Structure 1
Amino acid sequence: MLAGGTCLAALAALGIYGQAYADADPVNVQLLSITDFHRQFAPPTGADAELPGPNGEKLTVGGANYLAAHIKKIQEGQENSLLLSAGDQFGGYPYESWEYLDEPVVEAFNTMGVDVSTVGNHEIDLSLDYLKRTVDGTCFGEPGVDSCFDDSTGKRFHGSEFDMSSSNLVNAKGELQYEPYVVKKVTTPDGTKIPVGIINGTVTGTEKMNSNYTKEYKTTDLVEAVNKYAAKLKAKGVNAIVVNVHEGAKPKNPDAPYNGCEEISGPLMDAAAKISPDVDAIMGGHRDGRFNCSVPDPAGNPRFVIEAGDRGNVVNEMNLALDPSTGEVVREESTSENHAVTRDIEPDAEMKKVTDYWIEKGEKAAASEVAKNSGDISRKKDDSGESTLGNWAADINLAASEQTDGGKADFGLVATESHKGATSLNGDMFFAKSEYPGDADGRVTAFEVWKAYGFGNPILTVPLTGAQIEAGLEQQWTATKFAPLGVSSNVKYSFDADAAIGDRVNPADVQINGETLDPAKTYRVSMLAYTALGLDGFAAFKEFKDFEKGPHDQWFVRGFLKDNPELTPSETDRVSVK
């Protein structure tokens, strides 16, 4: 880790390098890159634990304790070393960090010694304020109960010890939300400092992703932002410049060796062809790719373009040789290598204390009671495709719409199955004791409900015409599958199972709040962004022209249950078959 960071200011004096260094050996700065950690404390299992090796073998990899151990091993003997994250340390499946507002990830990254992180799309899933709170360490509600939990040392959460940066994340007014770059100083043998500029960026289009979908912020063109700030850094006398962005690429062959560069394609490679020659290396993320390339910049000079996998399975080590007389990178003397985070070394003891603490704390929270149920609320469907869990989730979506600017929607719906992609219903809330720790008859645990509904999506309220709603209902059927839509309790409709696909629902048989569906009328409909964007195969719904963003699914459910802790399965009388 390098001492001292500079953002935007106090750089004027950094552009002068003594002639005495003209014949001196290059000064090495080691840059380590990790990306898309996704809250992965425990070693992953199954396919996520496998990494294709250079000779076709499968390596067992991953786990925060092993990641920290490999990082320390790679850093041994290095005077100038920086650890960079290319974003998405938040987001993903593991429960414990979600439960504690990603404060566990921040502690882990502080412990690991991360110096700089770019803002990934998942860091701002919920809001700009969510990330700023974790960076600044500010509390809301009751400290230790609602936020600012005690960490593994017994101290109150204090925020990140690393710089958060993005050159292209702006609010609705177009104002940058973070410093666009960070400057760190490399120490020469005689103690002189050489600046290294790190320009960071967020994947363009984040605001339109299903886990973010928002009007609160937007991401500008990544290449334009990078080139703008590369020129600014160069003008300030910073001659060693690297890019650390949450955008990536992938090899054509998913089993390609993790340290190779064969048939790599994607937005990062497209951007690399346009990013200024003033940039000496590019580190990416987001696409979960694993590659280590050297490709020509626009001036024809080779530079490294890399991506270090995901969930802590790879660390990239880049050693840049700096000319002490100019502060420029001597590219031909620089190296880059992807390292597999294997489990054949001793896990890091310091990180193990952190992960053990939070995993145990998460397990206790997951086993806690959040509600009681008087019967099964499950995915089991009747002949009409209706289920008690689908009904409950549709009712949840309708209730969530009350937090939008326009107030309560006309009705809510949920895709109980998908024609493509994922589904938001992934568990059941049975009355009988389940396999979940802490469960008992009639008891609903925090993990049980977290698993049952939601996958980190905002609940949108969108305007749709009656004709578009009818089209969406018709899209429940294809030639190969019936993917039912759950509807809220104020909706009743019937369909003709023997009619032709695309003609099974008659608008006259659809009742919303006791009134017949009017094809010409516009209704406000509440659903997950994933469904509204057509990602689960209901293309009719993505025709909306505007939207109101409500709360995120799992967060809303948690608050909803505090006020409504008694769950009763609905009657399955909302949909009928003629």
Structure 2
Amino acid sequence: MLEIRILRRTFTRLIPVVLLPLVAACAPAGAIKSTAPPQTVTVGIVAINDFHGALTPPKTSVIVGDGKGGVVQVPAGGAAWLASVVDSVRGQYPNHLTLSAGDMIGGSQLASSMFLDEPAIEVMNRIGLDYNAVGNHEFDRGRDELKRKATGGCQQFTSVKPCRLEPFKGAKFGYLAANSLEEDGSTLFPATALRSFGKGRNKVKVGIIGITLEATSDLVSRDGLGGVHFANEADTVNALVPQLKAQGADAIVLLIHQGGYTSGGEPDPNGCGQLTGGIRPILDRLDSRVDVVISGHTHWSYVCNYADYNPAKPFLLTSAGVFGQLVTDIRIEIDPRSKKVVAKSAHNVIVQSEGYPTRNGQIDTKPGFPLFQPRADINAYVAKYTAASATEIERPAGRLAGEVTRPGGDSSRTGGTLGNLIADAQLAATRAAGAQIAFMNPFGIRAPHRLTPAGDGTLTFGALYAVQPFNNTLVTQSMTGADIKAVLEQGFDDNQPIQALSPSAGFTYTYDLSRPVGDRVTSMMLDGKPIDPAATYRVTTNNFLASGGDSFAGFALQRDAAIAQLSDVEALEAWLKGDQPRAVPTEKRAVEVKH
């Protein structure tokens, strides 16, 4: 457990808190002396992030070092198990908050996504979530559908009919979106919240700010934003901290849908080695009166004393990974007299659930880690939705001659054989529109980042949907060779993270990251011939990329665009149909030149 003690600024190192007894010892004669320690108020915070509608165990593991140079795979996740862990952690604290740092929905399991993520919201209602910061995936189905998630009702804003199993009453928790601004400058949801704990002289207040990443408009279809735009994260927070302090906030907790990565040493969900990522420049500019930063977006897990990186910014920084596989147990101690946080600590609890089979054998539960039982009410609720979607999940949807993967998963900047397969499917689906090339964005490939067929090569629709859950449409447009190079370069520019688009068969390119930005793509070939910068080609992408998503603004040109009448996952299913299993695309199409 990481623990950080905060003392008065006149002290330059950590020492026991003995300030009040020392003052008493110097009091004038006749004064009442007290040796009682100052009474603090403990507030427990249960934190999650990036749940992504993971109603059932996702059949992936939390990886932990075994202390011997190896690793232990702990099967984790599932809403009913998550609820039990939340109850267990929350039960330690009479004063508590349960908070989420965004992406509660979107990119979800089929059992949730088929029903517009209404069951994911209802699960969080039953768990007792207090607040959720809006993440980029909350906008996947557009602004109006997100507002319906908050307020309830059955008005239809997408191609999918809402309220198919039951009336939807909306979230019982609060959405916070301090930097998600409407066209008139108002916030889409409230910017902050303030909660009080204790009574009388021991009453304390915790202020909460909710922020999504400024680049959200690059990560979702802009057509659905309805004029919503996103302000700078640090500027927004720094303007709100004085307001919360003026309202009496003794502690400030930031929920931010942006995060980092750690590296070095053995895998450790409570480690913080070599922290990098988009969260760091934000923290370095943040008002130091923020006490706790609960982050997300990167699907990474960590617990950090950020003072180790910037002594002027002594934040407690946490992230609980992805899919409800971890819960962060955060404890803060507030002195109601000084109105300050005097100690804070956190650790990630693994939501160990049930074992699952893999191609390489069974992943069993691990006795060295707590094993939780699923909470009965949520287990029954989830079962209703999984039963309703079971026929579609288990439906055979094609055959494949072997496994395809995106090696490295969320941490990889390439799509691997899985990205190639998806690009091939999209090219085949849009040949009638003249398509010659198709591109797939690796970050659009979701966990489990692999398709593993059965012994006879069969794949279920549930398996296809797990890696392609967004129901994007396909857009084919005209681009010159120079346009194609420019858009590939955008994957390697300074607007991080780096992402090498996966191309369809017949198109190959090389890139060299040691070269200057804008000149890193060193070759492009189509069917063995160099791409002509002046020639025009027909290029297919999903509609997310076609609107400039993932910072590929070059696709937003939309010249002579043709929109297919099927979704990306339908195109993948169509490609896998046939008398024989579809061959695995093994060739390397996007190749990094290394020196």
Q: What interval of TM-score do these two structures reach, taking the shorter chain for normalisation?
A: 0.5 to 0.7
* Counterpart in the other structure of 1:94: 109
Deviations 1:401-437 (A, max 9, x none): xxxxxxxxx755663788x7777999899xxx98567
Matching of residue 334 in structure 1 with residue 344 in structure 2: yes
- Residue pair 1:116, 1:164 contacting (<8 A) in 2 also: yes
* Counterpart in the other structure of 1:78: 93
Deviations 1:162-183 (A, max 9, x none): 1111111124555421111111
Q: 3-state DSSP class of the match of 1:266?
A: coil
Among residues 42, 51, 65, which one is paired with 1:37 in the alignment?
51
- Residue pair 1:39, 1:93 contacting (<8 A) in 2 also: yes
Q: Distance in 1 between matches of 2:431 and 2:312?
A: 56
| Alignment RMSD (CA, Å) | 5.0
CA drift of 1:520 comes to: 7.4
Q: 3-state DSSP class of the match of 2:323?
A: coil
Among residues 91, 105, 113, which one is paired with 2:128 in the alignment?
113
Q: Distance in 1 between matches of 2:457 and 2:75?
A: 31
Q: Distance in 2 between matches of 1:304 and 1:389?
A: 40
Q: 1:80 to 1:519 in 2, by over 3 A?
A: same
* Counterpart in the other structure of 1:356: 383
Correspondence 1:216-231 to 2 at 5 A: 216=226, 217-231=228-242
Q: Distance in 2 between matches of 1:84 and 1:525?
A: 42
Deviations 1:182-241 (A, max 9, x none): 1122133x5975321100110121111267687643322111111111122122332321
* Counterpart in the other structure of 1:240: 251
Q: Distance in 2 between matches of 1:193 and 1:457?
A: 50
Correspondence 1:424-503 to 2 at 5 A: 435=458, 447=462, 450=465, 455-457=470-472, 459=474, 464-465=479-480, 468=483, 483-484=504-505, 502=525
- Residue pair 1:389, 1:428 contacting (<8 A) in 2 also: no
* Counterpart in the other structure of 1:320: 332
Deviations 1:253-282 (A, max 9, x none): 384321223222222233222210221111
Among residues 249, 269, 272, which one is paired with 1:261 in the alignment?
272
* Counterpart in the other structure of 2:411: none
Q: 3-state DSSP class of the match of 1:363?
A: helix
Q: 1:127 to 1:53 in 2, by over 3 A?
A: farther
- Residue pair 2:548, 2:555 contacting (<8 A) in 1 also: no
* Counterpart in the other structure of 1:307: 319
* Counterpart in the other structure of 2:176: 165
Which amino acid in structure 1 is aligned with residue 438 of structure 2? Answer: A
Deviations 1:380-409 (A, max 9, x none): 9xxxxxx9998984586699xxxxxxxxxx
Q: 1:467 to 1:346 in 2, by over 3 A?
A: closer
CA drift of 1:284 comes to: 0.6
- Residue pair 1:51, 1:61 contacting (<8 A) in 2 also: no
Which amino acid in structure 1 is aligned with residue 248 of structure 2? Answer: G
Q: Distance in 2 between matches of 1:551 and 1:319?
A: 54
CA drift of 1:366 comes to: 3.6
CA drift of 1:300 comes to: 3.1
CA drift of 1:31 comes to: 0.8
CA drift of 1:341 comes to: 2.0
Matching of residue 199 in structure 1 with residue 209 in structure 2: yes
Q: Distance in 2 between matches of 1:389 and 1:71?
A: 37
CA drift of 1:356 comes to: 2.0
* Counterpart in the other structure of 2:415: none
- Residue pair 2:221, 2:549 contacting (<8 A) in 1 also: no
Q: 3-state DSSP class of the match of 1:302?
A: coil
Q: Which structure 1 residue ranges, 5 or more long, are not aligned?
A: 1-21, 381-386, 400-409, 438-445, 474-480, 487-499, 511-516, 561-566, 570-578
What is the TM-score of this pair, normalised by structure 1?
Answer: 0.67
Q: Distance in 1 between matches of 2:273 and 2:569?
A: 46
Q: Distance in 2 between matches of 1:30 and 1:180?
A: 22
Matching of residue 125 in structure 1 with residue 135 in structure 2: no
Q: Distance in 1 between matches of 2:124 and 2:306?
A: 30
- Residue pair 2:64, 2:267 contacting (<8 A) in 1 also: no
Q: 3-state DSSP class of the match of 2:86?
A: helix
Deviations 1:327-369 (A, max 9, x none): x3323x3322222222413222222122222222221344579
Among residues 38, 59, 62, which one is paired with 2:76 in the alignment?
62
Which amino acid in structure 2 is aligned with residue 89 of structure 1? Answer: M
Q: 1:329 to 1:413 in 2, by over 3 A?
A: farther
Q: Distance in 1 between matches of 2:157 and 2:282?
A: 45
* Counterpart in the other structure of 2:289: 278
Which amino acid in structure 2 is aligned with residue 98 of structure 1? Answer: S
* Counterpart in the other structure of 1:289: 300
Q: Distance in 1 between matches of 2:209 and 2:560?
A: 31
Q: 1:549 to 1:270 in 2, by over 3 A?
A: farther
Q: Distance in 2 between matches of 1:197 and 1:91?
A: 27
CA drift of 1:41 comes to: 2.2
Q: Distance in 1 between matches of 2:181 and 2:434?
A: 33
| Percent identical residues | 24
Q: 1:329 to 1:67 in 2, by over 3 A?
A: farther
Deviations 1:477-519 (A, max 9, x none): xxxx984279xxxxxxxxxxxxx97475889xx9xxxxxx995
CA drift of 1:294 comes to: 1.6
Q: 3-state DSSP class of the match of 2:349?
A: strand
Q: 1:303 to 1:467 in 2, by over 3 A?
A: closer
Q: Distance in 2 between matches of 1:211 and 1:227?
A: 29
- Residue pair 1:317, 1:336 contacting (<8 A) in 2 also: yes
CA drift of 1:117 comes to: 0.5
Q: Distance in 2 between matches of 1:290 and 1:28?
A: 24
Q: Distance in 2 between matches of 1:549 and 1:309?
A: 41
- Residue pair 1:187, 1:194 contacting (<8 A) in 2 also: yes
- Residue pair 1:416, 1:485 contacting (<8 A) in 2 also: no
How many equivalent pairs are there?
470
What is the TM-score of this pair, normalised by structure 2?
Answer: 0.65
Q: Distance in 2 between matches of 1:256 and 1:88?
A: 24
Matching of residue 148 in structure 1 with residue 175 in structure 2: no
* Counterpart in the other structure of 1:477: none
Q: 1:557 to 1:52 in 2, by over 3 A?
A: same
Which amino acid in structure 2 is aligned with residue 316 of structure 1? Answer: T
CA drift of 1:98 comes to: 0.9
Q: 1:59 to 1:379 in 2, by over 3 A?
A: closer
Matching of residue 182 in structure 1 with residue 193 in structure 2: yes
- Residue pair 1:378, 1:389 contacting (<8 A) in 2 also: no
